[in-house]
Copies of this chain bind each other. A is one copy, B any other.
């Protein structure tokens, strides 16, 4: 059975030494967040993840959820775990204190989110979806709506969901058919079918607050006629108590590849009472608030599954003995050496390790940018953070989940035949992490969002900001010889990324397919480049700590060697990515559609 140890030390190192949270005391609420407080939160969160959530991970996978008479039952132990989670105040840790939250920085909640998503991804989605719904109601709801829903949701008494997808439309929400008919009292009657609704129904909370996209009768066609509604499972009485069952029900649970512990529901709305949230026909905008945070949440899942898969692959590689080191027996007295002596095994472990530690830095960077957007006073500082976060959000989602999934496969491979056997637990990480590449916008859509929208927005201001920041960073540290190898790798990536960006500028105008064709490679190239940017920053912190005699020498040495591996072995991929991008769309679009069949 797999085990899990939350990477508290690495997270603390990133928060304190690399990103230096202490420098952000000008952000609202950051002054209250001391190093000691953060450490206490991380330690407590690690304990919950390791001791309460992780032991239920395999249980959730094997039992799955069950639908009985329109009510979903979660796997054994999930209710107890949810109550611990709720009572620890974890659901509202980042929420507005006016509604019962603790107002902690998103940076900290993101770090904790990794632990929870490693320990039990299917479970983590229940509070995760609630947090998204809380954010949408907080941003777009009326005061009355906020008073009605937020305190209960922040506390965890009620949960939340997002209802976008319908059988015939996922990516292309303009095709959406669910309808809303105005009722006398200002409410609406919502009817339609929504599919793939994660945490759509369950037995963890007394009520489920659905956020539902639907089209008001007479609204324009396409995306400009979609509104967002609050549809509670149970209607709420004037005094706040629960009233009648609303006209919404889980009609079916999907059987799926993984995340069996989370209920994936087909939700049927039959004249359910709903309340408009935000402006009429501006539902997609309201939903985008949830979607951006949700994308970061999914990026974290990619990292989180890669991390737990890595930890178990390492422990197997240290334990399992087969064959001898190529350079001669390492443990001659034993019948064979542990397989970690083999370079091919070690290369795969190093790839995952370098990705995980760099990815953790990316997630914290993303969290910090989000905090700046929401907590800074200075408009320029906010705008810059908004530009950068808008640019890197699709990259974090697409790159961290694509590679995170690959890493679970690599980790499974370390186990040989045992990796394929259910009781060893490695295949669950593969099956669970697979969904992260698909939901909240399939990764191909993230790439298109990046290349088609984020690159060109405001005359390319965001990407120019990124290049400018990297250049300033390089310039600042170029004099330091010890940093040279890390800066060289970063500069190479930045150069390739710029070449690809220029190539799009020159070739996508004439034929937009040239941008579409290279979009996924570009997303991965940016992923590698900003990860190199993280590793270079990590190395600055390592140097500083080493020079000052701070921190554990082995920890710092470990970072330096991992950074070296990252630059030498992972950055060369940008060359092949650039070569493919520069081939353009011609060979990709050459076949007639029916030639794909008649080959």
Contacts and interface: CB of A to CB of B under 8 A. Distances in A.
A421 to B, nearest CB: 5
Nearest to A335: B175
A590 B572 contact: no
Chain A interface size, as a band, is 35 or more
Interface string A232-263: 00000000000000000000001111100000
Contacts of A597: 314-315, 318
A175 B318 contact: no
Contact of A172 (B7, B258, B322, B448): B322
Copies of this chain held together in the complex: 2
Contacts of A257: 420-422, 427, 430-431
A353 B448 contact: no
A421 B327 contact: no
Given A512-B327, A590-B564, A448 B569 contact: no
A246 B164 CA distance: 60
Interface stretch (A122-130, A181-189, A340-348, A373-381): A340-348
B254 A421 contact: yes
Given A554-B598, A555-B598, A558-B599, 12 more contacts: A171-B416, A172-B336, A256-B421, A326-B452, A340-B593, A343-B589, A353-B596, A417-B439, A431-B431, A558-B595, A569-B580, A575-B579
26 contacts: A170-B416, A174-B336, A256-B421, A314-B597, A317-B596, A318-B596, A326-B452, A343-B519, A344-B447, A344-B517, A346-B591, A347-B517, A347-B520, A349-B596, A353-B596, A427-B431, A554-B598, A561-B590, A561-B591, A562-B591, A562-B599, A569-B580, A572-B576, A573-B576, A575-B576, A576-B576
Interface of A: 7, 10, 165, 168-172, 174-175, 195-196, 254-258, 314-315, 317-318, 321-323, 326-327, 335-336, 338, 340-350, 353, 357, 405, 409, 412-413, 416-417, 419-423, 427, 430-431, 434-435, 437-439, 442-444, 447-448, 452, 511-513, 515-517, 519-520, 554-555, 557-558, 561-562, 564-565, 568-569, 572-573, 575-576, 579-580, 583, 585, 587-591, 593-599
